[in-house]
A and B are shown apart, each in its own frame.
Chain A
Amino acid sequence: MALRKIREQGDEILTKKCREVKEMTPRLRELVADMLDTMYEAEGVGLAAPQVGVLKRIVVIDIGEGPIVLVNPRITHQDGEQEGNEGCLSVPGKAGVVVRPNHVIVEAFNEEMKPVTVEGEELLARALCHELDHLEGVMYTSKVKGDLFDTRIEEEESEEEA
């Protein structure tokens, strides 16, 4: 297992558009495995290749129902709307409210370059949109409704006994 360094907001690479994967190579296989390791280690539910510094159209997702690897993904259908909190491993300690479609269908290739279709609602739909945005150089912070907020636990005044 190899962990890669997660790039944080401010890093230019996160604003760039990623390139299509033409064929699966041993190096890319290693990248996919490392991305999964890195995502699980950071307790994330999704990670895109540019977040570990590689401008390739690859994302990994696991919302608690098993890993999904998507190569060259694109959204072919979306409907509905959901509003909820979203955070990003590249923006540690922050979250914000983002409106996303509630249902999406994504067509892509898996790590064997076989075509796959993934359909997701709610959290999975949100994760798919969030990760696919990364491949276009788009961060969720540009879509946040209202302000970002802190997700780190603040020191609370110790409660005096009544």
Chain B
Amino acid sequence: MTGTVNLREVILGILMEVTEGEAYSHIVLRDTLEKYQYLPKRDRAFVSRVTEGTLENLIQIDYIIECFSKVPIHNMKPLIRNLLRMSIYQLKYMDAIPDSAVVNEAVRLAQKRGFYNLKGFVNGVLRAAAREMDEIVYPSRTEDPVEYLSVSYSMPQWILRKWLDQFSFEEVERICESFRQESPVTVRLRTDRVSREEIIASMKEEGCVVTQHPYLDYAVRISGYNYLQALTAFRQGWIYVQDVSSMLVAEIAAPNWGDYIIDVCAAPGGKSTHLADKLKGSGYVEARDKSEDKVERMQENIDRLGIINMVAALRDAAAFDQESFHKADIVLCDVPCSGLGVIGKKQDIRYRMNATRQEELIRIQRRILSVSQNYVKPGGVLIYSTCTIGMDENQMNLKYFLDNFPFHLESIDRYLPEQLRCRTSAGGYLQLLPGIHETDGFFLARLKRNHE
């Protein structure tokens, strides 16, 4: 007989790669499911659900494990640690699986993977957890708010502390809550060749549910489709998948007919194509990136969308390009960032990031800003954006920039939908917060170069 696939062992393998290594869960999961394509859909769904669920609830799960284990989670053997994590997830969140099955499978897997002597430990912790799951005392919302948020929403405390310095407890809780919600896919309708009505009709015809997004008339949310890439509207290049926060970048950049625009960190190219669309075939968008692979894919995308006033170019944003000095009407600095605004879409960002890595990113962001500001014409505009939440990579970088370069912030109110206008947007920047705004977490600012 051929070996059969032990689904729990597959899940354990993914968790080991993600939590003990550097791999991103969505990539490891995709590669794994591709390898086990022949498995029935139900089995594949089980692998996805347990992997994603365990990672989404990791801090809470570790808290539960430590309620029942004398050994602290970080002193355990990595394999045992992850075996307990996936088992606790099943015990707490998957009622359809009998507790005894979860415990027995875990014990068997521990033994199979050479931890015969830890069988008793695994058995003991999981049996106790199964028995007393409902009696666990969680941190108090009022007495220990940081610990409460951390355990309830599995958010690292260092991130929460920074946010609580800047936002109210209720706001932070709404942000955390939003990361647990499934967010619908948003697409930008490209109405240069086909009308908005025709695009929507085509998507509806193919089974999509289409709803209008409240902020921009050309943004709609879609659901109900089977495979996005198979939609006529996608294949024809009539729609572009993009969060509304990213669309707002082109809105506040507000290009004029014939403008020359440089996007210094462009891949995968969404904001650049949007700007090129806004130029209606005039002017020129240079979409730069430092990865050859990404530039190639970006160029393919440009060709697929049939855009004539845009080109992908291989160039590192951190290296000065003499040729571009004072040439651009608009420079887009959508810098690499900690990504804390898109945790809802990439669950493991929060565990990868730490204060040291963030400092390193801030250095890179400032380097890119210092180099890229050179390309802006006198009177031209630099748009700064990140997909993160928090002062350090956003407001503090703006302050650094204004202290060092001849630019000033310019109000973005006239470019924004009414619901988003606020005190800071009148001042020239906006922090979007998921759960509070109808977008991902995102930051954007409009900086104008002084006329000399």
Contact = CB atoms under 8 A, between A and B. Distances in A.
Interface string B380-422: 0000000000000000000000000000000000000000000
Interface stretch (B33-41, B59-67, B326-334): B33-41
Given A95-B38, A149-B38, A162 B228 contact: yes
Contacts of A126: 1, 4
B37 A159 contact: no
Nearest to A46: B1
A44 interface: yes
Contacts, number: 60
B1 A153 contact: no
B270 to A, nearest CB: 9
Contacts of B240: 162
A147 interface: no
A154 B37 contact: yes
A95 B4 CA distance: 10
Interface stretch (A7-15, A23-31, A84-92, A106-114): A84-92
A45 interface: yes
Contact of B3 (A45, A65, A153): A45
B232 interface: no
A89 B1 contact: yes
Main secondary structure of the interface of B (DSSP, over half): mixed
Contacts of A41: none
Interface centre among A45, A87, A162 (most CB of B within 10 A): A162
Contacts of B3: 43-45
A43 B4 CA distance: 10
Given A44-B3, A154-B37, A161 B112 contact: no
A87 B112 contact: no
Contacts of B142: none
B1 A95 contact: no
Nearest to A87: B2
Contact of A45 (B2, B35, B228, B229): B2
Count class of interface residues, chain A: 20 to 34
A140 B4 CA distance: 14
B38 A44 contact: no
A85 B241 CA distance: 38
Interface in A29-80: 42-47, 64-65
Given A151-B38, A153-B35, A64 B4 contact: no
B45 to A, nearest CB: 15
B301 A86 contact: no
A150 interface: yes
Contact of A65 (B40, B111, B297): B111
Nearest to A64: B112
Contact of A89 (B2, B37, B112): B2
A127 interface: yes
A130 interface: yes
Interface in B88-134: 111-112
A93 to B, nearest CB: 9
B34 A150 contact: no
Interface in A132-155: 140, 149-154
A152 B111 CA distance: 29
Contact of B1 (A44, A151, A156): A44
Nearest to B30: A159
A118 interface: no
Interface of A: 42-47, 64-65, 84-89, 95, 123, 126-127, 130-131, 140, 149-154, 156, 159-162
Interface of B: 1-5, 34-35, 37-40, 111-112, 228-229, 240-241, 268, 297, 301, 304
